[in-house]
Structures are given as structure tokens and as C-alpha cells.
Amino acid sequence: MASETHTAEGAAHAADAAAHGGEAVGMPQLDFSTFPNQIFWLVVTLVVIYFVLSRIALPRIGAVLAERQGTIANDIATAEELKLQAQEAERAYEKALADARAEAQRIVAETKAEIKADLDAATAKADAEIAAKQAEAEAQIAEIRAGAMESVTEVAKQTALDVVAAMGFRADASSVNAAVDAKLKG
């Protein structure tokens, strides 16, 4: 399709060229009769583009780029600042945490010491009580033991007396007692 339009156009060109006196025979680039025209329009074009660029487009784009550069630099500075702030906040947080931990530890130690003191006092008191009770009990036991010894002596004397009497002897109670005492001691 493209080729068709091209050939059609080519035919038109050929007709045109014929009208122009056989332009297409050589290189149209070397047809010097068209040079003034091309150069004139080129100069017009370049001047127009130059003014459009130097008056409007380039200053505008330059300003936009500079502004963007500034914005980016600003944003980076702000970000840097925020980062510093965050670091500071983190440090403060860490410090508070450490403080709280130390405080907690102090309280724990204090409480532990208090409890220990209470406990020691209670233990000492209990020990004292126990010791007193023990002494009392020991005294009682000693007393009971003494009582029992006495009863044993009594019974032994009576029994010895009875045994002597049963064997048909008359015995003096006091000598029997003395003999029993001696025997018990021995």
C-alpha cells in the first residue's frame, strides 16, 4: 500500500518534475535554484526555534530542574534531621528503660532485704521460744525422772523389807534402807 502511494506520488512528482524542467533527473539536492528558498526558510525556522527556546523553554526547564534539585536537597536535609531526632528519641527511650530497670532492681533488693530481716527476726524469736520450751520440757523430764527414781528406791526398800520379813528374820527398817541405798548407789 505504501509502495502504491509512493509510485502514485512518484508519478505526480515526475509530472511535476517535467513541468519544472526535469528536476528529478539528477539529485534535487543539487538544484541550486531552490537554495535561496530553503536557506530563507531554514533561517526563519532556526530564528523562531532559537527565540522559543531562549525566551521560554530553556529558562523554564532550567528553573524546574533547579527547583527539583532544591526540593530534593531540602527533603534529604529534612530526612537527615528527622533521623537524628529519631535517634535521640531512641536514646532517651533506652535511657528511660535502663533507669526503670535499675529502679526495679533496687526495689526488688530492698524488698528482699526487708523480708529477710523480718524473716530473721521471726526465726530468732521462734528459736528463742523453742529453746525456752525445750528447757522447760527438760526440767520436767528431769523432775519426772527424779520422781521415778525415788519411787523405785521406795519400792525396793519396801520389797527388801518384805522379803526379809517373809524369810522369817526381823530386820531393822533403817538398816535395810541403808543397805538398799548402798546397793542402788553401787
Partner 1 sequence: MAEEATGGLQIHPMDQFIVKPLFGGDAIHWYTPTNVTLWMAISVLCVVLLLVIGTRGRAIVPSRMQSVAELAYGFVYKMVEDVAGKDGLKYFPYIMTLFIFIVFANFLGLIPTAFTTTSHIAVTATMALAVFFGVTILGFVKHGAGFLRLFWIDQAPLVLRPILAIIEIISYFVRPVSHSIRLAGNMMAGHAVIKVFAGFAGVLGVGAVFPLAAITAVYALETLVAFIQAYVFAILTCVYLRDALHPHH
| Contacts with partner 1, residue ranges (CB under 8 A) | 2-7, 9-11, 13-14, 16-17, 19-20, 23-31, 33-46, 48-50, 52-54, 56-58, 60-65, 67-68, 71
CB of 46 to partner 1, least distance (A): 6
Q: Supply angle C-alpha 40, 41, 46, rounded to 5.
A: 105
Detail the DSSP E strand segments found in 40-136. none
Question: By C-beta, is 68 or 91 nearer to partner 1?
Answer: 68
Question: By C-beta, is 30 or 167 nearer to partner 1?
Answer: 30
Q: For the packed helices 58-166 and 173-185, what is the interaxial angle rounded to 10 degrees?
A: 140
Alpha carbon distance 124, 117 (integer Å): 10
Alpha carbon distance 173, 157 (integer Å): 8
CB of 104 to partner 1, least distance (A): 51
CB of 82 to partner 1, least distance (A): 20
The answer to whether 181 and 153 have CB atoms below 8 angstroms apart is yes
CB of 103 to partner 1, least distance (A): 51
Grid coordinates in use for 124? 530468732
Question: By C-beta, is 8 or 102 nearer to partner 1?
Answer: 8
CB of 80 to partner 1, least distance (A): 20
- What 3-state class would DSSP assign to 49? helix
Question: By C-beta, is 63 or 76 nearer to partner 1?
Answer: 63
Question: By C-beta, is 20 or 161 nearer to partner 1?
Answer: 20
Residue 90: closest CA among 79, 101, 98, 102 = 98
